[in-house]
Structure 1
């Protein structure tokens, strides 16, 4: 069963990223600051993969004038986002579906956090292109997801490190191993060089890496 349609898994979602993604809270703050370098106090922000609402909540609390359009393919995760946002929800419009369901914009900035590693390469490129098309010229996009070298032995090493971090964060070893196996078998993870190239192919410029946390990496790029 898709974990993002499993109501019990969705209910526990908020527990996951802080334990599984090194520096998750700091990652959110860094993304907010990167967006704020270019986005005005009353900016409109596109958030792709908004289910759960964690990053929108962090951004909305830090920037009270920002408004958000969040897009996610899971209705259950969008319902969780509404609960997570609480009184902040009046500054957020949530859209069920993929990037094609996002408004045309133009947006002042965009984010896609812990999402693109679920998307195959060709669809990932299309998605990035559709995000860029909705951004104002020069607007920033911040992305972060699984990304690590794919050479002989390297993939296994980075996934082992992911599992080790999970155990060190309090996840049961058997659960961490199950997650490692699922990620290895199901996610179309790319090497960092490929991720950067996709951003450029989609029309973004000034691509730079701002974050690395074991198996996760993050970039900022500009439309």
Structure 2
């Protein structure tokens, strides 16, 4: 986790961040569109949405553009990434309150919906459970929660295969082969990737209902569940 915090505080890494997800995450822009659609099924016209891991501002911008009457609270532990989120939002920034910190620093709500995208693979299982519970506590009954992160089968042969496919995707997206290999090694050695069934179990343990898979991009998966 210390390495991750350092990365998201490095000025050069932060400056390049918004270029990364569309290149490194299969179907990233489509995943954002699907997340906005799933939230909109239950978030009202003047709804309030909590975005955990809001640094960079890409999902905030996508949600704000898709739904001009929503307002947002975005939370992130990196002050530099929150500053970038403000820049990314541009004229949309007045609709989002940005909070420096972790899930405990998020407003109590209650919110009409929430998202946590490309964030939970940076924390261990115990912290994932706590985060899911804290988000659930801040949502109105039946409010949607959209979550997506690295998640792959943990079989002896399956996990390496999915990570190999992910590395091949990076190379096909124009990432230099040595950097694609380095990304795979970083994912393998520094992140705690759970199997999809484990990720769904965490949502259920936190009190979420009906976790449903809506997105799969090689080693990435996303779910919608309801408070």
Q: Does 1:128 align with 2:132?
A: yes
Q: Residue 43 of structure 1 aligns with which residue?
A: 47
Q: Does 1:83 align with 2:87?
A: yes
The CA distance in 2 between the partners of 1:167 and 1:156, in whole Å, is 17
Q: Displacement of 1:160 after TM fit? A: 1.2
Q: Residue 167 of structure 1 aligns with which residue?
A: 171
The CA distance in 1 between the partners of 2:15 and 2:43, in whole Å, is 32
Q: Which runs of 5+ in 1 are unaligned?
A: none
The CA distance in 1 between the partners of 2:11 and 2:39, in whole Å, is 32
Superposed CA RMSD: 0.8
After superposition, give the CA deviation of every residue in 1:117-136 in whole Å (9 maximum; x if it has no partner).
11100110000000000000
The CA distance in 2 between the partners of 1:123 and 1:79, in whole Å, is 25
Give SS of 1:68's match. strand
Q: Displacement of 1:20 after TM fit? A: 1.2
Q: Does 1:12 align with 2:20?
A: no
- TM-score, with normalisation over the residues of structure 1? 0.98
Q: Which runs of 5+ in 2 are unaligned?
A: none
Q: Does 1:33 align with 2:37?
A: yes
- TM-score, with normalisation over the residues of structure 2? 0.97
Q: Displacement of 1:167 after TM fit? A: 0.6
Q: Residue 196 of structure 1 aligns with which residue?
A: 200
The CA distance in 2 between the partners of 1:153 and 1:6, in whole Å, is 35
After superposition, give the CA deviation of every residue in 1:198-222 in whole Å (9 maximum; x if it has no partner).
0000000011101101110000000
Give SS of 2:7's match. coil
